[in-house]
């Protein structure tokens, strides 16, 4: 029997890093139209360096029930038609089977693109005043990905955020082969660079044939050593690699940027009778194309 075990929410006893409170700036909207991996010059430890814009694309998600911190996970930002959404797993915002029922999320976001030591908390309410959920789910109801509408005006006024968008999806004409490297940005066991509020990056490989939906469901498998706290992590291609086009006469080209492949969700394990569960080192990644399908419901209202 094959099991899918959600590793995303880190209980308080497993969370390793304490938040670093520090405080003002703007939103980065310099999307490279060709997917180029543009960097951002920042001040760190007294020196000016250039870091990837992805530092402002991902956030640790702290789940609260009333005033109690109950878990940690990962989320990332996605822009559509001028609005910004937080993307994470459905089981991060609600999991009845695990009795995980937070009412708000807290994100620690950068507030100064020139000094990444400066950051502040952004609160995401999961329910409106009438008690209705604010997050959006896929219309099929069977996808472990949600999009939460954010207050774009407040983000633009105070925080530094670089959201993904349709232009960051892997182009349809591009082929990626099984066994190719992918990158996972997240917060394993709540660990991250507290001084500069930066996520960690793990390297994985494609373990199933992309873009074929594994088992007929809209996700693929990735081999990667992930821990709790990585639910909701974006999974990306590596920048600077050779990629092949899907055509009658395939061409190779050098990728200049990162492409968003999907959202990491759960690890896959094999159960043997009488022997319990056996880890395979495999993880579900829900396809990125599901995100605009989820957001479309918000635009239709």
pLDDT in tens, the chain (301 residues): 444 444 445 443 323 333 333 322 333 323 333 334 445 565 555 566 667 889 999 999 999 999 999 999 999 999 999 999 999 999 999 998 899 999 999 999 999 988 999 999 999 999 999 999 999 999 999 999 999 999 999 998 999 999 999 999 998 888 888 999 999 999 999 999 999 999 999 999 999 999 999 999 999 999 999 988 899 999 999 876 667 777 756 677 666 679 999 999 977 766 666 666 677 889 999 999 999 999 998 866 6
d(C-alpha 106, C-alpha 94), whole Å: 15
Burial label, 55 (beta-carbon count in 10 A; 0-12, 13-18, 19+): buried
d(C-alpha 127, C-alpha 98), whole Å: 19
Which is nearest to 192 in space by CA: 110, 261, 263? Answer: 110
Q: 287 with 265: CB under 8 angstroms?
A: no
All structural domains of the chain, each given as residue ranges with its CATH number in brackets, are 10-164 (2.40.10.10), 169-292 (2.40.10.10)
- Structure-token pair, residue 251: 């061409």
User: Distance from CA of residue 272 to its chain's centroid?
Assistant: 32
What pLDDT was estimated at residue 301?
62
Burial label, 94 (beta-carbon count in 10 A; 0-12, 13-18, 19+): middle
pTM over 0.85? The answer is no
């Amino acid at each position: 029997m094959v099991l899918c075990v959600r590793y995303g929410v880190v209980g308080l006893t497993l969370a390793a890093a304490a938040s670093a409170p520090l405080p003002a700036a703007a939103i980065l909207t310099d999307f490279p139209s060709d997917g180029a991996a543009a960097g951002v010059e920042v001040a760190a430890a007294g020196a000016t360096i250039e870091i990837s814009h992805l530092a402002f694309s991902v956030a640790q998600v702290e789940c609260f029930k009333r005033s109690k911190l109950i878990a940690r996970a990962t989320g990332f930002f996605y822009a559509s038609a001028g609005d910004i959404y937080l993307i994470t797993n459905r089981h991060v915002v609600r999991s009845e089977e695990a009795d995980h029922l937070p009412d708000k999320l807290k994100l620690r976001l950068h507030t100064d693109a020139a000094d990444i030591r400066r950051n502040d908390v952004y609160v995401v309410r999961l329910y409106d005043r009438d008690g209705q959920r604010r997050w959006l789910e896929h219309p099929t109801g069977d996808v472990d990905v949600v999009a939460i509408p954010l207050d774009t005006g407040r983000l633009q006024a105070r925080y530094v955020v670089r959201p993904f968008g349709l232009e960051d999806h892997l182009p349809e004409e591009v082929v990626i082969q099984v066994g190719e490297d992918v990158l996972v940005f997240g917060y394993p066991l709540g660990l991250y660079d507290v001084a500069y509020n930066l996520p960690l990056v793990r390297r994985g490989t494609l373990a199933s044939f992309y873009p074929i939906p594994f088992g007929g469901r809209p996700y693929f498998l990735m081999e990667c050593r992930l821990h709790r706290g990585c639910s909701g992590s974006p999974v990306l291609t590596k920048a600077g690699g050779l990629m092949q086009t899907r055509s009658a006469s395939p061409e190779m080209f050098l990728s200049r940027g990162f492409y968003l492949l999907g959202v990491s969700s759960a690890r896959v394990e094999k159960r043997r009778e009488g022997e319990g569960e056996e880890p395979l080192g495999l993880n579900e990644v829900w396809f990125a194309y599901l995100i605009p399908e989820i957001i479309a419901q918000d635009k239709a209202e």
